[in-house]
Chains A and B, each alone.
Chain A
Amino acid sequence: GQQLNQSPQSMFIQEGEDVSMNCTSSSIFNTWLWYKQEPGEGPVLLIALYKAGELTSNGRLTAQFGITRKDSFLNISASIPSDVGIYFCAGSNYKLTFGKGTLLTVNP
């Protein structure tokens, strides 16, 4: 099935640094979502975006819905060790299409 282009594939950063990851698609989506998955668990919804151009924050997380409806980015500010995990973007027109994920490692 279709997958979104998510980058980077992995990031290894120091605690306190900011992180940015993004997703692009050849298709338009009505909703963009960002999830975090930890080993052996299901994905947890972080942020949902509903309108083109929308910028939404959830604590240290900020995400934007691209104006073309074909892309989105997620920023994490002042990273902490518990931010470690795999971050997935997902586009939705009812069914979800996932990116391949960004593995984030935070060095204390």
Chain B
Amino acid sequence: GAVVSQHPSRVICKSGTSVKIECRSLDFQATTMFWYRQFPKQSLMLMATSNEGSKATYEQGVEKDKFLINHASLTLSTLTVTSAHPEDSSFYICSANNRRQEYSYNEQFFGPGTRLTVL
């Protein structure tokens, strides 16, 4: 259990276009999903926390109008990178809490990531 998928796995787009990334929890319901960005040879940096049915909470320095997050159901959250530029090129990874089990409140299970390249 606790499988998280992401789509697409890779995307290449032109500068100025918008890109949508989907994150799905496949075998559990996730009231909370998290979006991270990872640059080459660096650690994961939290961008935002996405709660089902409410607005996302963004980390300091992350532009909410540029990175639009929607968490419309208990199994799906989307991240839209609007007006993408080359500096937005990165590895975007989502994660989800699996709250089925006791003591799992702080565990996060990660998707396989999406490699975004903006030309």
Residues of A within 8 A of B115 (CB): 40
Q: What separation, in Å, do the CA atoms of A86 and B113 have in the docked complex?
A: 15
Cα(A41)–Cα(B104), bound, Å = 23
Q: How big is chain B's contact interface, by range? A: 20 to 34
**What separation, in Å, do the CA atoms of A31 and B108 have in the docked complex?**
11
Establish whether residues A93 and B43, one from each chain, have CB atoms under 8 Å apart when the complex forms. Answer: no
* Residue contact A96 to B108, C-beta cutoff 8 Å: yes
**Chain A residues within 8 Å of B109, by CB:** 45
The reply to whether A31 and B43 contact each other, CB–CB distance below 8 Å, is: no
Q: Is there a chain A Cβ closer than 8 Å to B106's Cβ?
A: yes
B residues 65-119 touching A (CB-CB < 8 Å): 91, 93, 95, 103-113, 115
Is B46 at the interface (CB under 8 A from chain A)?
A: yes
Nearest CB of chain A from residue B109's CB, rounded to whole Å = 6
> How many residues of A sit at the interface, in one of the four size bands?
20 to 34
Q: Determine if B44 is an interface residue (Cβ-Cβ < 8 Å).
A: yes
A93 to B42, CA, bound (A): 22
Over the window 45-78 of chain A, the binary record of Cβ atoms lying under 8 Å from chain B Cβ atoms (1 yes, 0 no) is 1001010000000000000000000000000000
User: Do B93 and A30 have beta carbons less than 8 Å apart?
Assistant: no
- Chain B positions within 8 Å of A, measured between CB atoms, are 4, 6, 34, 42-46, 49, 59-60, 91, 93, 95, 103-113, 115
A41-B113, A48-B103, A101-B43 given. 20 additional CB < 8 A pairs? A1-B60, A31-B105, A33-B107, A40-B91, A42-B6, A43-B44, A43-B110, A45-B110, A48-B104, A48-B106, A92-B106, A92-B107, A92-B108, A93-B106, A94-B105, A94-B106, A95-B46, A96-B44, A99-B43, A100-B42
Q: Which residues of A contact B (CB under 8 A)?
A: 1, 3, 30-31, 33, 35, 40-45, 48, 50, 88, 92-96, 98-101
Which 9 A-B pairs rank lowest in CB-CB distance, beginning with the nearest? A31-B106, A42-B110, A92-B106, A98-B43, A42-B113, A42-B112, A43-B110, A42-B93, A100-B43
